[in-house]
Amino acid sequence: MQITEKKLSALTNGLNAVDGVMSNGIHTGFKALDKDLALLYFPDGATVTGIFTRNKIKAHSVMYDMDMLKQFTEFKAILVNSGNANACNGLRGEQDVHEMTRSLAEKLNIAPHQVLVSSTGVIGEPMNLQPFYSGLDALIDGLSHQHSTAAAEAIMTTDTIPKELSMQTVIGGKMIHFGAIIKGAGMIHPNMGTMLSYIVTDAALPQNALNTALKSAADDSFNVMTVDGDTSTNDTVLLAATNKVPLDAAYLDDFTASLTEMCRELSRMVARDAEGATKFVTVKTVNAKTKSDAISAAKAVATSSLVKTAVYGQDANWGRVIMAVGNSGIKTLDPNAITIKFTSAAGEVLVCHEGLAVPFDETLAFTVLSQTDVGIFINLNTGDAAAEVWTCDMSIDYVKINADYRS
């Protein structure tokens, strides 16, 4: 049975939507003023799985979580700080992770190995844990079924808005809920802005089933943004199931389909709020010879600074698109077969047909590209494989923000 999108209905309360999840977010002192410490607490425990950065340089918290998830399936808390990535801090970085889990566990009266940790922020700067210790009581006292937004705020770095999502759906005759918070990649495509996401569900599934579902969902969502292992030291997606609603393993595909929708929407939220982004861009390739060709061509277009600046300028500069396709290294490419369209809610404009310029209405093209969501559609006409990659435009603000990050 295929879950259709219709059956998934959106809720508005983030992590609060899921039974068995409490959360909170406060300011301690990792950042100057803003909330910087989030806690997800599962009073009755949760089965957790995760996926992590493919960067060979991994933050200490990432290495810790990966290790814990190999050893254990059940957890009670996820602690996240923003303002310091705790990466490249050597032995002290490792010790600080243990300090954080130990001190939180003590306050919650649970075992340290029941705590997972994430960090995001500047790397290579040893953590100062004093403000963290001072803030722990307030963090725990404020735990509630209503504080998802505070948690979403506390994991932000250069995000401009807190990002939460929740949905419900019927699987195997039972109502299943999903809730999530996410923080954005600095810039989605080129590389290395940290993405952190925490997804909770009340469904009961074993860790290996959750892992299968999460990996599959990520391949159709986070991984079509975060390209080719271009990930930060800290990227983390954790999926926690509070096991309140028993679900037969036969429904794993349905669960995965819903989780995928959830992850796709979370990815889009991140792309829309990327550093300096003014537009969400979908690059779609069709009729490629192979799936791999379709993906490579779409990624080459989506990562091209020249394409991204043209989209920012609302300029239907398809020459840059076709050049990026030519540079993508795909095996089967017929320059005289390529057709390119720019699309949006304002319409579509055909700019290149079978490798040749098509006279087009520049005013219409500008209107199409002036929308917030724009598409670049590329028909390679060499087969029947397709791919879709998401990115954002590259703006003046992107440079401003990133020329000024540490200050």
Residue 157, annotated as binding a ligand: yes
**Residue 128 contacts a second copy per CB under 8 A:** no
Strands (E) in 279-358, as ranges, are 280-288, 339-344, 347-353, 356-357
Q: Give residues 277-306 in contact with a second copy (rule: CB under 8 A).
A: 303-306
Is residue 279 a contact partner of residue 393, using CB atoms and an 8 Å limit? yes
- Known active-site residue 194: yes
Separation between Cα atoms, residue 144 and residue 153, nearest integer Å: 15
Convert residues 44-83 into a mask of x (bound to a second copy by CB under 8 A) and - (unbound): -----------xxxx-------------------------
Examine residue 190 and tell whether it contacts a second copy (CB under 8 A): yes
For 128, the token pair is 């100062």
Q: Does 187 bind a second copy (CB under 8 A)?
A: yes
For position 364 contacting a second copy by CB under 8 A, the verdict is no
Give backbone dihedrals phi and psi of 385, rounded to 5 degrees, phi first.
-90, 150
> Does 240 sit near a second copy (CB under 8 A)?
no
**284: helix, coil or strand?**
strand
Q: Which stretch binds a second copy (CB under 8 A): 67-75, 104-112, 230-238, 280-288?
A: 230-238
β-strand 280-288 against 339-344: which pairing, if any? unpaired
407 is in an annotated binding site: yes
Span from 68-76, 87-95, 261-269, 368-376 in contact with a second copy (CB under 8 A): 87-95
282 annotated as belonging to a binding site for a ligand: no
Instruction: Enter the tokens of residue 43.
Output: 């009073």
C-alpha span between 172 and 37 (Å, rounded):
37
Binding residues for a second copy, total number by CB under 8 A: 67
Task: By CB under 8 A, tell whether 198 contacts a second copy.
Answer: no
Among 387, 264, 393, CA closest to 328: 387
Contact 373, 344 (CB under 8 A): yes
Longest CA–CA span in the chain (Å) reads: 70
CB of 155 to a second copy, least distance (A): 18
Residue 56 or 70 with smaller CB distance to a second copy: 56
Six token digits for residue 177: 């809920």
Place of tokens 């879709």: 388
Among 13, 73, 290, 309, contact with a second copy (rule: CB under 8 A): 309
**Per CB under 8 A, does 370 bind a second copy?**
no
Is 285 assigned to a binding site? no
Query: Which stretch in 96-104, 184-192, 195-203, 370-378 sits in contact with a second copy by CB under 8 A?
Result: 184-192
Is 372 known to sit in a ligand binding site?
Answer: no
Q: Is 290 annotated as a binding residue?
A: no
Catalytic residue among 49, 120, 194, 382: 194
* Cβ 290 vs Cβ 332: under 8 Å: yes
Measuring CA to CA, how many Å separate 300 from each of 228, 328, 358, 361, 388?
A: 11, 5, 23, 26, 12
Minimum CB distance to a second copy smaller for 132 or for 398: 398
Inter-residue contact 9 to 167 (CB < 8 Å): yes
> Under the criterion CB under 8 A, does residue 216 sit at the interface with a second copy?
no
Candidates 98, 106, 335, 361: give the one binding a second copy (CB under 8 A): 335
Comparing C-alpha atoms, which of 69, 61, 52 is closest to residue 121? 61
Residue 334 sits at φ, ψ, to 5 deg, of -115, 105
Q: Which amino acid type is present at position 302?
A: A
Q: Of 217, 224, 302, 352, which lies in the binding site for a second copy, with binding defined by CB under 8 A?
A: 352
Judged by CB, which is closer to a second copy: 153, or 159? 159
Q: Which of 1, 126, 137, 219 binds a second copy (CB under 8 A)?
A: 126
User: How many other CB atoms are found less than 10 A from the CB of residue 9?
Assistant: 11
Choice from 32, 249, 250, 403 touching a second copy (CB under 8 A):
403
Q: Helix, strand or coil for residue 231? A: coil
Cite the active site residues.
194
Interface residues with a second copy (CB under 8 A)?
A: 55-58, 85, 87-90, 122-126, 186-187, 190-193, 228-233, 303-306, 309-310, 312-313, 315, 317-320, 322-327, 329-330, 333, 335-336, 351-352, 355-357, 394-396, 398-400, 402-407
Q: Which residues are annotated as a binding site for substrate?
A: 157, 183, 194, 275, 402, 407
